[in-house]
Structure 1
Amino acid sequence: MKPATEGAKGYRRLIPSLTALVEFEAVARLSSFTLAANELGVTQAAVSRQVRFLEESLNVRLFHRLHRAIKLTSEGEALYSVVADSMRRIAGVFDRLSDGSAQQELVLATTAAFSHFRVLPNLPQLKRLEPQLALRLTTSMFTADLRHNEVDLAVRFGNGKWRDGTSSLLFDEEVFPVCSPEWLARNGLLQSIDDLTMTQLIDSDSTSEGWMDWETWFQAVGVRPPRLHYSLRCSLYTDAIQAAQHGHGVALGWRRLLGDLLESRQLVRVTDASVKVSDSYFVVVPHGRTITPTTSTVIDWLRADVQPT
């Protein structure tokens, strides 16, 4: 076995400057020399020198310098994926050691709807599976580039093809009309899809590619109503579903999100008509991020049809 000092000398020989790697990571993550300099508290010229030194040491170009932007080259992408992952892991150990905590934090990015209906109700089971895990949820309405965010896992709805990470199928999805039992009692069973076009509908804005609204749903079941009657329009799907629970009309129910509400009959189906969408839910691991046993447990937990306790 080689002495530790020989290994250290080998690292110094292969890695010309840790400072240059730190500054390269900031530039790649922020896609800006200026923003990286501001974050690091140095001048833009200093950051440019460090990146140029790194490129000269490796004899490759790490960035395409465009007119008013920069973009990683393929060599830059390869280096960034390793450097970013290593720095996140080192920072995580420092964070745990500095506060004396044995907890492990995992950052999960989802839409607000997935977090509200799928993640939060099932946290007790995750806590039993991973008692030391500290979950941090980050939500957004639209898909953000994982290379520019400190995210360990992301749940996305789409075709599974994204350039910033490796995706794995969670489950497919189908969509059908739902309402509260009270609304159904007041208005009675609908006899046909045409009856549904004339009733009080609750709609929500699209937040990602493939998200279905009422017009798209009716087209998918072969109905083209001349005009739809909306009792309420919401920017958030969570608001639309809450409005349906309060008896304000009929909303589109995404089965994988609303399983608990349907099981408890807080919401009921209005019709047997249903649309199976072509897109599905995927979990995405950012490039360069290691899949640990804890990460695998979280992925299995996301995939399972668990019920709250």
Structure 2
Amino acid sequence: MPALNALKAFEAAGTTGSFTRAAELLNVTQSAVSRQVRQLEEQLGETLFSRRHQHLVLTPSGRVLLRALQQSFDKIELTVRAISQKNDVNRLRINVPPTFAARWLVPRLGRLREAFAQLDLSITTRVDDGITDSNRLDCAVRFGDGEWNNLESTLLMHERHIAVASPALLDREGVDTPVDLNRFTLLHVLSGEDQRYLTWQHWLDAARIEGVDTDNGHEFDLLDLSIQAAIDGMGITIADRHMITAELASGQLRQVLDVEVEGRQSYWFVLRPEQRASGTQRLFQQWLQAEAAASASR
């Protein structure tokens, strides 16, 4: 086996594409990294990098080795972390959608503390923080249709879509019957790059409103941003009623027409199949389900 230092030097250089940046990460000199990689290449009898001006390009052999090392180092890191944290039985590491975290989960954490004072959460909202290949997460909340490979899903709640805007905007423009939505800016939420969720069209179909230009308007990659834009009087958005309970109660937002549509996607509590839900996970899942049921009933 090659020396571990040489493998680590190569992995850092391959990840950064630079001996200099790899040296900064490893807190060694640039010449030390270069020498370790050169010795590794001599031992393997293969060239791992094509040296280009200002950067490194992996050869086919280099790409194969880098992929294997990254997976191996990640597994070592996760295993060490799992061992060091095994006694932290009252902490749950969860990943949830950003809007769900900000508008639904965090405002309820006080009630979670009252119910289970011993339970601590570590919450992340990064989209790429996947539970399927990460021992760092104990559970997650996912938004979708409930069908994910290698995950067990339990339904928490369905979306309930309503059209909302700031009262000041509606009072200024006036909302006649039938309402002329073309007088307002429509606020949209993106489901991906250059692709919107179809919530506006579904709501318009349910309201039996035709002739509305849905091509124009502002777009946001988070529902939270679209809601905030509506609060600030920028236009009308379609939002999940569960996510704007406080704003409706305080009068920051007002519903436009008495039309509510069940969303095509929902929020789910998910675990890896190989996980046996611990007592802490079960407590948190049951609390989430109870809070979701209460939210739906209200």
TM-score, normalization: structure 2?
0.65
| 1:33 matches 2:61 | no
Judged with a 3 Å threshold, the aligned counterparts in structure 2 of structure 1 residues 141 and 191 are, in CA distance, closer, same or farther, namely: farther
Is the 1:105–1:136 Cα contact (8 Å) retained in structure 2?
Answer: yes
Partner of 2:102: 116
Alignment correspondent of 2:34: none
Q: Alpha carbon RMSD of aligned pairs, Å? A: 3.3
Report the Cα distance in structure 1 between the residues aligned to 2:159 and 2:73, rounded to whole angstroms: 44
Report if aligned partners of 1:181, 1:268 keep a CA contact under 8 Å in 2: yes
Name whichever of 270-279 and 203-212 sits farther off: 203-212
Alignment match of 1:272 (pick from 254, 258, 270): 258
Distance 1:240 1:91, change over 3 A: same
Amino acid paired to 1:138: T
1:251 matched residue in structure 2: 237
Contact 1:109 1:139 in 2 (8 A): yes
Quick one: distance in 1 between partners of 2:74 and 2:80? Answer: 16
Secondary structure in structure 2 of the residue aligned to 1:290: coil
CA offsets per residue over residues 166-207 of structure 1, 9 Å max, x none? 1111112221110122222222224235x1244221222125
Counterpart AA for 2:70: L
| 1:225 alignment partner, SS class | coil
Which residue among 232, 235, 247 is the counterpart of 2:221?
235
Distance between the aligned counterparts of 1:141 and 1:183, measured in 2? Answer: 33
State the Cα distance separating 1:139 from its structure 2 match: 1.0
Letter aligned with residue 118 of structure 1:
W
One-letter amino acid of the structure 1 residue matched with residue 71 of structure 2: A
Match of 2:186 in 1: 201
Q: Which residue of 2 aligns with 1:93?
A: 86
Letter in 1 for 2:170: L
Q: Does 1:180 align with 2:166?
A: yes
| Aligned-partner Cα distance in 1 for 2:259–2:75 | 56
Counterpart-to-counterpart distance in 1, 2:142 and 2:75? 32
8 Å Cα contact 2:202/2:261 also seen in 1:
no
Unaligned ranges ≥5, structure 2: 1-65
- The letter for the 1-side match of 2:86 is V
Is 1:292 matched up with 2:286?
no
Q: Is the 8 A contact 1:178 1:267 kept in 2?
A: yes
Q: 1:214 matched to which residue of 2?
A: 200
Q: Secondary structure at the match of 1:205?
A: strand
The answer on whether the counterparts of 1:109 and 1:151 sit within 8 Å (CA) in structure 2 is: yes
Equivalent position of 1:15 in the other structure: none
Counterparts in 2 of 1:201 and 1:141: CA distance versus 1, 3 Å:
farther
Which amino acid letter does the alignment assign opposite residue 139 of structure 2? Answer: L
Q: Give yes or no for contact 2:223–2:239 (8 Å, CA) kept in 1.
A: no
- The structure-2 alpha-carbon separation of the partners of 1:211 and 1:90, relative to structure 1 and needing over 3 Å to count, comes to farther
Q: CA deviation at 1:246?
A: 1.4
Cα distance in 1, alignment partners of residues 75 and 136 from structure 2: 17
> By how many angstroms is 1:294 displaced?
2.2
Aligned-pair CA distance for 1:247: 1.5
Post-superposition offset of 1:267: 1.4
Indicate the residue corresponding to 1:60 in structure 2. none
Encode CA deviations 1:179-236: one digit per residue, 9 max, x unaligned. 122222222224235x124422122212599944434543555545362374533222
Matched, 1:126 2:112: yes
Give the distance between the partners of 1:87 and 1:221, measured in 2 at CA.
Answer: 55
Equivalent position SS for 1:279: strand
